[in-house]
Amino acid sequence: NAGVTQTPKFQVLKTGQSMTLQCAQDMNHNSMYWYRQDPGMGLRLIYYSASEGTTDKGEVPNGYNVSRLNKREFSLRLESAAPSQTSVYFCASNLAGGGTDTQYFGPGTRLTVL
Amino acid sequence: GENVEQHPSTLSVQEGDSAVIKCTYSDSASNYFPWYKQELGKRPQLIIDIRSNVGEKKDQRIAVTLNKTAKHFSLHITETQPEDSAVYFCAASIGTGGFKTIFGAGTRLFVKA
């Protein structure tokens, strides 16, 4: 049981480049989330997927797109990276729907945009 | 929308002392309040949570209290140990599943041996 996994662990992009961050969970959770973490600002929700087939915007969705590929996988895409998107990105999941609301986080992706 | 404020931003205590971190939230509909601990370079991990129908919850050396009227909730760590040194985040969410969880900015706790 690997929990929540993310790839890659580190990435350096040039301004304007695109990339996709991958996330997968093997806990049969219904809901998945993407957060970014910046110094002194805690975790901010980018997008979430309450259940397979649905996605919704969080606090800071501009510049990002997401895909809930299936129940296990939730990807985050940066179409044209900007230096302001330099951050640590965390994927998370939880059971939702009446179960515990605890969110389980992946190990994070450290992204630098030059 | 929901806003969560967390204080202090940094807290330094002697080993064995108690540490208290306080949070306030703005949306009275919030009903789930988790606390996460994040060690340097690691992922956030839940340490304790409380729901709006409970005023206090304890788990060994950590406890959380909730005052719904004042929209305050606090984390209490007793008999602190060096391994408690980390960043602690409070959060508030609405609805089953906490689809939109709003996090505080974090408190960096240093426990001096």
Pairing relationship of beta strands A31-37 and A43-49 according to DSSP bridges: antiparallel
A39-98 confidence digits (pLDDT tens): 877 899 999 998 899 999 998 999 999 999 899 999 999 999 999 999 999 999 998 765
Binary contact (B34, A101; C-beta < 8 A): yes
* Interface-testing mutation among B39, B89, B99, B107, with chain A (most A C-beta atoms within 10 A): B99
Classify residue B3 as exposed, middle or buried by CB count within 10 Å of its CB (0-12, 13-18, 19+).
exposed
Task: Tell me phi and psi for residue A83, to 5 degrees.
Answer: -55, -30
What are the CA-CA distances from residue B43 to residues A92, B49, B66, B68, B100 (Å)?
Answer: 10, 17, 25, 29, 19
Q: Per residue in A2-49, pLDDT tens?
A: 899 999 999 999 999 999 999 999 999 999 999 999 987 789 999 999
Nearest to B73 by CA among B19, B29, B35: B35
Give the bridge partners for B90, in sequence order.
Answer: B35
Residues of A in contact with B43 (CB under 8 A): 90, 105-108
From first to last of its 113 residues, chain B has per-residue pLDDT tens of: 778 999 999 999 999 999 999 999 998 888 889 999 999 999 999 999 998 888 999 999 999 999 999 999 999 999 999 999 999 999 998 766 567 788 999 999 999 99
3-state secondary structure at position A58: coil
CA-based nearest distance B20→chain A, Å: 18
- pLDDT score, position B54: 80
Contact yes or no for A96 and B96 at CB 8 A: yes
Q: Where are the alpha helices (DSSP H) in A48-113?
A: none
d(CA B50, CA A95): 17
* Max Cα distance, chain A (Å): 43
Query: How close does chain A come to B112, measured CA to CA in Å?
Result: 22
* Cα–Cα distance for residue pair A76/A95, rounded to 1 Å: 20
Tokens in use for A85? 């998107």
Radius of gyration for the alpha carbons in chain B, expressed in angstroms and rounded: 13
Q: Could you tell me if A34 and A89 are in contact, meaning their C-beta atoms sit under 8 angstroms apart?
A: yes
Counting one residue from chain A and one from chain B, the pairs whose CB atoms sit within 8 A come to 65
As a whole number of angstroms, the distance between CA B24 and CA A63 comes to 30
